[in-house]
Structure 1
Amino acid sequence: MKKFIILFVALISYSNIVAQCPAPTNLNASNISLTSAQISWSYATPVTNFRVEYGDVWGLDWHVIYTTSTNIVLTQLYPATEYYVAIKANCSSGEISDYSSNFTFSTLCNPINVNSFSTVTFGQTPPDVCWELKSGVLPLTGNAVLADTELGWTTSVQSPSNTAMINLYSVNCNYWLISPPINLGTGSSVYQIQVDLSKYFYGTNPLGYLNQSPNARFAVLISTDNGQSWNSNGILQEWNNTTGTSFNTISDNLQTYYIPIINPITLVPYTGNVRFAFYAYENDIDSIYDNVIELDNFNIIPYNGCIRPSNLISSNYTMQGMTLNWTEHGTASQWQIKYGLTGFSPTTSGSTVTSNTNSYTFTNLNQSTMYDFYIRSVCGTSTYSNWSLVHSAATTCPTSSIPFIEPVTLSYMPACWTQTYSGTIAENVWDVGQIGTFPPYSYAFRSVAVPGIGISRLISPPINFENITDPILTFNQICYDMLGVTSLKIQTSSDLINWVDQPYSYTFTTPMFLSVETVPLTVDPGINYIAWVIDGDNQRINWVVKYIMVTSSFPCFPPSSIYVNPNYVTVSWVPAGSELSWVLEYKLASETAWNAIPTSSTVYTFTGLQNFANYVLRIKSVCENNESGYSNTIPFTPTAIEDFSLDYLVEIYPNPTNSEINIKIANPEIQIDECNIFDIYGKFLQKIPIHHETTIFDISSYSSGIYFMKINTDKGIIVKKIVKN
């Protein structure tokens, strides 16, 4: 018990010693300049002196000074540098206190001479240490009370990326993005802000004019005391949904705005060191409004009363032209238009036309071509505005007639095929690539894994359906949906705006084999477009499309799965669907003339070929009213010529049948590797296990029609045609 009491007394004694020499508190920095700052603190206990330690936060320039006062001026500091300060008290009692709590401050940035100021982009926000993020309400009268924040303005990752953005949403949205100090000079020159702005509804660009808060504000301000005070007298331009200019006047896409740096009350240009701020405000207690403002390419340039046009819009597209409209922000009544192939520079190349109205119609452009357009205002003799931002648009494609065929044979997107995307998808989904399932590794349209939930469309060129009855769309496809949450659709449109679902719309939940899809189309006469539509999670779907055809009757496709057995020089194939017979052509690879062999069988055995000679073959289908194109060319080299036909190794009966068929192996030495059933369109239906000399297979559940049995053996491939009554 005595030991416990002694220890308790000792603790009390130690506590009294510490309390007699506490650490300094309430550290504060004031009168901050480029190279100095006044540091003050609170202390009530008698002291001998204070030990003040300070240096940059990286510890590269550290100093110690002593003072008996509770404030001190630090000098010879570096501009635009963050400093750390720590203070100890040397008390009169002889004790030394702990360090004060962590305290930092930053010296001011050197003003940037306006003549050396360069365009600021926002790969990060703020762009550097001399830009600041603040929060606080801009009052109607008096100065704003601002606080440091890491919220509010940030860098956009949505297209267009690398812009500064602010999301106007919910309550207490009052955020500032403040520039470094800029020296405007003595007033001999007048300057203006040049900045790109846009607004949109969050998550859907551009729909900014929708669903706006009635109290939302966005203002550009100036401060003439290095950002120490900000008030409504410094507003250079404001967009205000309560009073003044509404948000609707901000473009839905990034457009350049010019704001004169002139006092709006005295109309006198601002001079000396100033700072600029972008202030965004919204107070939505119900959180029902959700908009974004973006800005980019901030610059200070000489004032030009001849302001460049903006809001370039193209319309009325034809194969040889289009109409271009724009917005004039000054008093110009004449404009120059520079145009050329996408990527040209308006200062070094391009063609020029002059317009006396802010609308111009081109009639001499090339069809199916993407152009860039720039416009500048003409304000007098040799007096021009800067060139506008680029506007890109394409002339239309020639209309395709029916039959329309797109085999996809090149490594890039065919001419006049386009694509669109929406929702949270930020880039194109479709491209062209080699697909191994389409032998021999031929090209096809394919969707790529792009993050985002939304709708992407692969859109055909314009197709003329005038005087076409019962049009049919057919195409080969492979599809795999990893999560089973994405819908694939075929849609048509006559205006690229209103899309109509065609009778092909379902959700894939399992992997699919190569198949031929047939879609009867219901379209109005005239020009229409066809779209392959992915609706849902575009990152989880793989869709491959090839051999696209639109016809006015059932199409005729070449056969697929062509296989050549070089040992027996036997070729077999799987019918595409509606053909009655085939024409097989072959020749020595070194020759030019083809040998043609009509056949009604899906298996053919060559005779009279040269052993170890290089041959090629191709096959086309013969349908009731037309013929297909040829299949891909298949090379082969005979290695052991025999007069041997695979077709008689397996028998099927009865054929036609209502229910069951017998599959009989006529030669016990043959080895069956696999046996599959396909429908007339080539779609895989079922796998048949073959374990005995005779296998009975029930097809009573199948619809009446024609089916094909593909049997893989060690001797080659055998294809049998089955008729289900």
Structure 2
Amino acid sequence: MLEGTEYGIQVRAKCDVEGLYSDWTEVSTFSTTCLPVEAYYFESFEFENAISPCWTKIVETDNTITNIYPVEEFAVNYNGVDRTVYPVTGNQFIKFANNFDNSTDPSDNLLLVSREILDINSDKRVRIHLISRQGTTSLLYNRSSLHIGTMSDPNDSSTFNLVQTITPEEMNEYKAYEVDVVDWKEHTIYFNNYTGNDSYIAIKHGDEFVGSEFFVDDFKFEAIPECTEPLYPIVLDERYDAVDVSWEAYENSNPIGWEIEYGFSGFETGNGTIITSNDSSFTTIPSLLEDTEYDFYIRANCGSAFSNWSVKQTFKTKCGGFEVGYQESFENHPTGFIEHCWTGLLPQVGSSYWDEIAQIRVYDNSAIYTPDALTGEHAIWFLNESNHSLNDAISEETILVSPRLVDLNNYKKENIILDDPISSVYASPTEVIVGTMTDPDDYTTFTPYFTITNAAENEDTWTQYEIDLSNYYFKDEYIGIRQASINERQVILFDDFEYSENSCIIPTDLEATQSDSGEITLAWQDNNTQQAPQNWEIEYGPIDFNIGEGTVVQANSNPFVFDGLSTFTNYEYRVRAYCSAEDGYSDWSVPYAFSMTCESAPFYEDFDSYNASDQNSSNGIPNFCWTRNDRSVSD
């Protein structure tokens, strides 16, 4: 029979061997007893779609929807994928349902109370698995606490005595946009300061804010071991070949060090790699494989013995990166998300609505009001959401980040295909900024390099942009793409990224200085740092002349001087490097404009070529090289 359960019984007499029976008696009832327990006690809430009859729930509220009950799983669909909570063990866990509670009312009493426990004292601890969730459409995350305490009467909420509060910041929160299966976090509550004599342990919903819900599983009541295991291991920083981790320790423990065992995801302790540490606040796990999932555990070295291993923690190293020749068309990325070493960097402002909105994501050709990808079925959808609570700052923090690009330098270039698919009533894509980053997770490391200013001219058309890195001299390893704040609420699509190499580099930073009458000195920055060019070609002509329609001269030096230019004439010029017969010419530089002005001395001036009436115009006398001094001079 099940303990704590009411049963009914009836009896009838068998009168002979022929099968003659009396009538049944009336039903008599009895209940089995819930026997008290002592440490070690474990409860996984597996009582056939109900809370164990030896546990008590207290729900004191005017809200009929607020309740405490077991569930087999919980899921919310996000972008077509279920984000699911499964039991830690067994088939059920407990849900504190509080979706529609009114935050203006007094706090409700929602308590889940254990069976009677005989040995609650300062040598014990409780461990529970917990997930929080903001259950309403509020723009905020969970702001309610969970309280662990003791009670003398499991049916009287006023007998609750607090032992420890688990704050919202300490919890794992259900966030629908992050992972397919939501992870539990095990919390350890030490009773080392407990001085009471209660016989029940209670889990109480703090109910400080509307809509907060909790999932609870695997309650453990046990003695505090002499050597306590580390608590709450976390990953501080993930790199492609190492990670930094930390953990907490029980306040009354005094280990002389710790051991960290790590291995590929799913390994069993004893089969991994062990490193030692003397610092719980910061330890590096080195020599890892790129783009690989790992597990790790930590245990304390107490001198005479080791603790049990901590709970498992997981991480995935970043991609080691790609060399020249890397191409990405986003075909292997799941719809609604970005993976495979790319990052959609989004601002986190503590708002479940804004943090979960997919401003950068992969879409497929079934999306409505969106053109098909340039190649294949998938492309990137990038929204500059100016209605965001960060306003203009949203543009700085919303960045599409490439994988690590090995040997990124001024001999490289990248190609992206861009489309503006939506003729927005708010704006056209005035500026798309391409830059570099040292850290793909930190928007503050973004350095602008090149700004696309004509995206609006190519609405509803896939357009290729080549970003030449000839003038790039930083040590960043990632390419970042973001929209300028002036784009306002604008969607831009990206497809077909390519990382390639230049063999002959474009000159940059052109200059022009008039050195004599009709003579000009031209200078530029040559970016061929590996081997100097054999020479350069200069093409010059009137402003806005087309390439191939100007005058070409060969320059064997930088700076380069030539003459024969007309006075009072506007020109522009371009330069390209000739590196070798094998590498050929670089592309032409951007044009640089200059003007030829007055002749240098000696010269003759009779002033007959000027119109005297022009001296009264707002622009003065055209091409007049003299300066007039109108100040009065006294004798």
Task: Provide the TM-score with structure 1 as the length reference.
Answer: 0.44
Larger Rg: 1
Task: Provide the TM-score with structure 2 as the length reference.
Answer: 0.50
Q: Which protein, 1 or 2, shows the higher relative CO under an 8 Å CA cutoff with sep ≥ 6?
A: 2
